[in-house]
Amino acid sequence: MIELTINGSPHKLDVAAEMPLLWALRDILKMTGSKYGCGMGLCGACTVHLDGEATRSCVLPVSAAVGRKITTIEGLSENGDHPVQKAWLDKKVAQCGYCQVGQIMSATSLLDKNDQPTDDDIDQAMGGNICRCGTYPRIRSAIHSAAKLYREAK
């Protein structure tokens, strides 16, 4: 049995220790917010927070997540009103939307540490997230406006 703490709740999973967290979330716990995109940590669609750090869940064995705090999109906010989610809606970032959960998780991890990111900081933090529809400029702009919301909330 693998014991995980996800979005503050304990979960017991009867899965192989090497099963990537992504498939445990999606197939076992039916939390499908985190997406599959590449299975190699190349695209960021599966990004979750592990102790606050943006982490690619498709290459993280569940055994490596034991005893650590996992946050997924399902636990990011109660009502979808996290500053990053608000900024995403305000800037109408999403096109197909498939990669956006991963983008949002990477962006929140950045802003939790740095609420005054430069364009370079953003490019750096978001470099692992691919968006095929092409929403990068809006993501950058949404992160700047979310940063403003972060600072105002202080």
**What part of residues 67-126 is at the interface with other proteins (CB under 8 A)?**
72-74, 76-77, 80, 85, 88-89, 92, 94-101, 104, 122-124, 126
Cα(59)–Cα(39) distance, integer angstroms: 7
- The token pair that represents 43 in the structure block: 């695209």
**Secondary structure class of 131 (helix, strand, coil):** coil
Task: Assess 36 for contact with other proteins (CB under 8 A).
Answer: yes
The residue (of 138 and 148) whose beta carbon lies closer to other proteins is: 138
Among residues 112, 97, 7, 80, the alpha carbon closest in space to that of 21 is found at 7
How many residues touch other proteins under the rule CB under 8 A: the total is: 57
Cα–Cα distance for residue pair 80/45, rounded to 1 Å: 18
Q: Which of 20, 55, 109, 110 binds other proteins (CB under 8 A)?
A: 20
Q: Which residue of 27, 52, 116, 151 would you call a contact of other proteins, by CB under 8 A?
A: 27
